[in-house]
Amino acid sequence: MSDVLLKKVDRKLYSRLKAEAAMRGKTVGQVFNEAVRVWLTVQQSRDIESERNVEAYLEIKEELLKHPGEYFVIAKGTFLGRFPTLGDAFKRMKDNGTTRGFVIRSQASGEWLGGSIEH
């Protein structure tokens, strides 16, 4: 174990962490280690899920152009369907218990000339 100095830690957050740790008979360092382990695991699983989402997207990519105006939803590495409204697409994601993924509607690129780009 090593001693680490952390800068720019939220004071209120740190106070809460310290209090919660004390209530559970743990040191701040022990709780910090636990929290970091959980955070790293979550990040790792998110990366894996993102890769699976990209694979699922590549499988249905051709379909996007065939259904302009519809919303395609991919989450948890699976194509969840295409929907006529954004509300329906989000509802499907919520029903599936997910808050991350691709919500895609075929969109054209365009132009941005003058105006605010210079200001």
Partner 1 sequence: MNGLADQLNIRDCFEAGDWGYVIEASILNPLHDLRFPQTGKLLLKVDTGFSGPIVVTGDVFEFLRLSDIEVPEDIRPTYRTLAGAMTMRSAMAIVEADSKQVEADILTPLQGPGKLLVGCQVLEELRLALLRKKTCFVSIDSLVD
CA torsion sign for 53, 55, 56, 57 is positive
If the CB atoms of residues 71 and 82 are measured against partner 1, the closer one turns out to be: 71
If the CB atoms of residues 6 and 113 are measured against partner 1, the closer one turns out to be: 113
Which of 7, 26, 90, 97 is the binder for partner 1 (CB under 8 A)? 90
Burial 78-100 (b: 16+ CB within 10 A, else e): ebbebbeeeeebeebbeeeebee
Note whether 72 and 53 are within 8 A (CB): no
Q: Which stretch binds partner 1 (CB under 8 A): 12-20, 23-31, 37-45, 86-94?
A: 86-94
If the CB atoms of residues 32 and 57 are measured against partner 1, the closer one turns out to be: 57
β partners of residue 69: none
Q: Cα dihedral angle (26, 30, 36, 41), rounded to 10 degrees?
A: -80
Q: By CB under 8 A, is residue 111 in contact with partner 1?
A: yes
Subset of 33-72 contacting partner 1 (CB under 8 A): 54, 57, 64, 71
Provide the binding-site residues for partner 1, judged by CB under 8 A: 54, 57, 64, 71, 85-87, 89-90, 93-94, 99-105, 107-117, 119
